[in-house]
Chain A
Amino acid sequence: MAQLVKGETGDWEIVIGMEVHAQVTANSKLFSGASAEFGAAPNSQVSMVDAAMPGMLPVLNEHCVYQAVRTGLGLNSKINHTSVFERKNYFYPDLPQGYQISQYLHPIVGEGKIEIDLPDGTTKEIGITRLHLEQDAGKSLHDQHPTKSFVDLNRSGCALMEIVSEPDIRGPDEAAAYLSKLRMILRYLGTCDGNMEEGSMRADVNISVRKPGGELGTRAEIKNVNSVKAVQQAIDYEVERQIDILESGGTVVQETRLWDPNKNETRSMRSKEEAHDYRYFPDPDLLPLVLEQDYIDKVANDLPELPDQKKHRFMEEFGLSLYDASVIIAESMRADYYEDVTKGRDPKIAANWVINELLGLLNKNDKDIAETPISASQLGGLIDLIADNTISGKIAKDVFAEMFKTSKDAAAIVEEKGLKQVTDTGEIESVIDKVLADNPDNVAAYKGGKDKLFGFFVGQVMKETGGKANPAMVNEILKKKLS
């Protein structure tokens, strides 16, 4: 479903391709034994290799290779048996080598595809062009001093996967869905923590506009878009900018632009053209990386069930709607939790409790599923109490709130507070008799044809029993007594 934008000269189609840099989850760096952990004191995780001291040689981290192959398989992509590390040459203070070791002509992972879930409940396939391994740069701080920049090389040399999409994305919603799904897959695989605030996932967005179905327009590359929301805002801004230029007879310049989240605008980085002459060539310090089919098969065997597989299985096996399934599979821990709750229970009821009650309350308290005060077996216990008529659905919500506060078992709370549902016919009958005796006028009015009063009697019975009377039985007995 292409999302068209109305301009003064007619409709415009948005064409977007994304490049996502994802930091590989690993203990050490891509080519050195320094720690890759986030947040250490400046330059405390830098080896002489990362500082590019003369004579130091890079040695490839086998786990980073494993992670890249694992990710490639998770993106339904072709794994290349031979890939080559090349030098991408440019000067910047946080790049001590004067080049970034990257992959260019021969990336480790080739073409693939993923499925994205759109807000209107449909899905769409987005092509993956490639994934390659490369070194991250260091970090420059520009706001510490009026005339100086400060450089920390801790991140220098950490392994990144650059994941490039085909220009299949047609608008801000699709871009957001793509980024979310990609993040989800990486987190399921454990190959990147997907933490956008800490910069372990960063997106560059290539945007152009064209008349629907026409030739591709000139694109601008937007850098520094570091949240799903920023991606949407940057696209909205950039699309409007480009349409304005084109409709007033101008031409879009192919350039790199920076997203400024404070001013909500993109602006040209005005870098000199020759800065983009990277003069790639194979790194003479590194031989080509050769992967045998056996190795790739072994990595494939280690793959967990991925979000889309899980989503489709939940829809088929448990009869969940696409929406419910998508919510539940958003995090693997959430999906595991749901599967534990639903074991031996009604899957739709379990889904309702997990999505509407548990996730709702967690959200309200700014917690995620890892911090839930109610375990899956405890929530299951609560659902069992409803199923066997020990408590009513209404009382169950109160019990649930109490469980959330105290982490106690549902049965213990029901016992403690005397919330057991009254299912004893004699007891319910005697309460009903009392209610009818106390309200002779209403009984007469009901019998005279005021049907609506039935609800009044039910309410009175519930009030008398503290909400504990089984509603179905109350209805049945009342009907009999009033007829």
Chain B
Amino acid sequence: MDEATVRRVARLARLEMSDEEVARLVPQLGNIMTFVEQLGEVDTDAVEPLASVADIDLRLREDTVTDGGIANDVLANAPEDMEGFFVVPKVVE
């Protein structure tokens, strides 16, 4: 784990980080990675990925309209809205 990787991961997650925070996180994230990488020692070549510990199938729903029509609720948390739209800082130049 190095500073560049920490900065990259922070950027991908849209987290702003000071130089001190980055320096503090390098060993911490490194430790976590080392811990998780122990799993690589297990031979899983013949093992199917386990999607769930419960033996259940994916549930499907019927194709009917049962939701929506709640624009006011959907917009309730928006810092800014206008005429039913979310309003955000301009995202193209």
Report A's interface with B, CB cutoff 8 A: 26-28, 32-35, 41-49, 51, 59-65, 84, 89, 91-93, 140-142, 144-153, 274, 277, 279, 282, 286-290
Contact between chains at A93 and B74 (CB < 8 Å): no
Q: What separation, in Å, do the CA atoms of A93 and B86 have in the docked complex?
A: 9
- Which A residues touch B8, using CB under 8 A? 274
User: When the two chains form the complex, which single residue of A91, A152, A282 contacts B49, counting CB atoms closer than 8 Å?
Assistant: A282
Given contacts A147-B90, A150-B85, A153-B86, contact A61 B61 (CB under 8 A): yes
Q: Digit string of B4-28 for contact with A (CB within 8 Å is 1, else 0)? A: 0000100110100000000000000
Contact between chains at A287 and B71 (CB < 8 Å): no
Contact between chains at B87 and A46 (CB < 8 Å): no
Contact between chains at A150 and B71 (CB < 8 Å): no
A-B contact pairs, 15 of them (CB 8 A): A28-B64, A33-B61, A34-B67, A35-B65, A44-B71, A47-B67, A48-B70, A60-B61, A61-B61, A142-B90, A142-B91, A147-B90, A149-B87, A150-B82, A150-B87
Given contacts A60-B58, A151-B86, contact A34 B71 (CB under 8 A): no
Contact between chains at A290 and B58 (CB < 8 Å): yes
Name B56-77 residues within 8 Å CB distance of A.
56-71, 73-75
- Which B residues touch A61, using CB under 8 A? 60-61, 63
Contact between chains at A46 and B70 (CB < 8 Å): yes
- Most chain B Cβ neighbours within 10 Å, of A28, A49, A142: A28
Q: What separation, in Å, do the CA atoms of A62 and B63 have in the docked complex?
A: 7
Flag whether B51 is at the interface (Cβ < 8 A): yes
Q: Digit string of B29-73 for contact with A (CB within 8 Å is 1, else 0)? A: 000000000000000000001011000111111111111111101
Which residue of chain A is the closest to B56 with respect to CB atoms? Answer: A287
CB distance from A329 to the nearest CB of B (A): 29
Q: What separation, in Å, do the CA atoms of A43 and B77 have in the docked complex?
A: 13
